[in-house]
Copies of this chain bind each other. A is one copy, B any other.
Amino acid sequence: MPNAEEIIATGKTRPEHYRGWDYLRLAEDCKDLPRGTLIADRRIIYGYPHIGRLLALQPGLREQFTQPFWVEEKVDGYNVRIARLNGLTLAFTRGGYVCPYTTDRLPDLLDLSVFDHEPELVICAEVAGPDNPYLESSPAFVTRDVQLFVFDCLRLDRPDFLPPPQTYALAERHRLPTVQHYGRHAPEDNAALLALLRRLDTEQREGVVFKEEAPQPRRAKYVTGSANLQDIEATATDLLDLPPEYFTGRILRLALFLKELGLEQGETIQRRLGSAFLDGLLRAMRQYESEQRCYTTFRCRLRSRDNALALLTHLDQVTGHKVQIVQRDLREENDGYWMLEFDRSYPALNGLLSHLRHGGLIFD
């Protein structure tokens, strides 16, 4: 893997700063180097790599894995890497930005004394819950605020993950919250894995990640039909703003999941797919009718007012110039936390509904 000078020489790094603290962020994938790789204080935190997706479990596991693998839950949240650099413990997003929200909430999410014992550690985790500032969906088992679930460990300056058993042991030693672990399985364990996935689907959980324990470990992910339905439900109002492949891909994956698990029959699933699209769109149209705009209100709690403002700036930066992020409220609560509420608009849907309200034609 390239060193800091070589990463900078790619010309793809961008200078960023967070509250007076400067770093470089790799803005796009560059050969083997994932987007989000970052350099700070001359240390490298490698980006979290893309994990390939299985869409047909049985041939996929046999083809991809030649030895047993560890199975872990995949949680529906956002990916962060957490490290201590020059005394500061920071959380970075998948894209390599400091996340002002997660960084602010770190003391609530895990015991940071782990970094006193493991100063070179980079914790990879999913943050999920109804009060997160990024995603409209969250797992049912996080009922309020957010929680953090560790699933991998890196080291500063190293792109390779700790083997799963070492990650599990480290997490236990330092009482870190982790994703659910489903043990070690062989590629032939079809019946057990299908039973696990059927249970996760019933419980509306997202899916699993398979991780080999090998010098060059192979990995793959597989998501449930429910996860695809929940994604569509959560983002139907984004129908015109997300790439349309986002939706067609999830419909296809749902069909493949139903086929794989022998769940093809059933009016319930058909009705749920239809309502996943229609309920959100009709709700957005009613909202537009009464307020002349479509938006979703997000809310999240932070320890510091400055981080709340830094989060709004960060959201403006990463959502693109068309999406409007509008602060609705920022108030200190009795417990000393700041409650931030903001609206996120759907520019393409708002644009279309405005055009239609004025009687416009569409040429397609």
Contact = CB atoms under 8 A, between A and B. Distances in A.
Interface of A: 50, 52-56, 59-64, 220, 239-240, 243-245, 247-249, 251-252, 254-256, 258-259, 264, 267, 269-275, 277-278, 281-282, 285-286, 352, 356-364
Contacts of A269: 274, 278
A64 B247 CA distance: 32
B282 A259 contact: yes
Contacts of A275: 270, 274
A272 B55 CA distance: 25
A252 B281 contact: yes
Nearest to A270: B274
Number of copies: 2
Nearest to A244: B244
A356 B281 CA distance: 33
B362 A53 contact: yes
A193 to B, nearest CB: 14
A363 B53 contact: yes
Given A60-B361, A251-B239, A267 B259 contact: no
A64 B357 CA distance: 12
A361 B273 contact: no
The 8 closest A-B pairs by CB, nearest first: A63-B359, A52-B361, A270-B274, A273-B274, A244-B244, A255-B281, A56-B356, A274-B274
Nearest to A232: B251
Contacts of A277: 251, 255, 273
Nearest to A58: B359
A236 to B, nearest CB: 8
Contacts of A357: 56, 59
Contact of A361 (B62, B64, B360, B364): B64
A278 B285 contact: no
A57 to B, nearest CB: 10
30 contacts: A52-B361, A53-B362, A53-B364, A54-B361, A55-B356, A56-B356, A59-B356, A59-B357, A60-B359, A60-B360, A61-B359, A63-B359, A64-B361, A220-B361, A239-B248, A239-B252, A240-B252, A244-B247, A244-B248, A247-B247, A249-B364, A251-B277, A256-B285, A258-B282, A264-B278, A269-B278, A270-B270, A271-B271, A273-B273, A274-B274
Contacts of A362: 52-55
A64 B56 CA distance: 50
Contacts of A286: 259
Given A244-B245, A244-B247, A256-B285, A62 B271 contact: no
Contacts of A63: 358-360
A63 B285 CA distance: 20
Given A258-B282, A259-B286, A273-B278, 8 more contacts: A53-B362, A53-B364, A59-B358, A63-B359, A64-B361, A220-B361, A247-B251, A269-B278
A239 B63 CA distance: 26
B281 A251 contact: yes
Contacts of A352: 55, 252
A351 to B, nearest CB: 13
A352 to B, nearest CB: 8
A249 B349 CA distance: 11
A63 B355 CA distance: 11
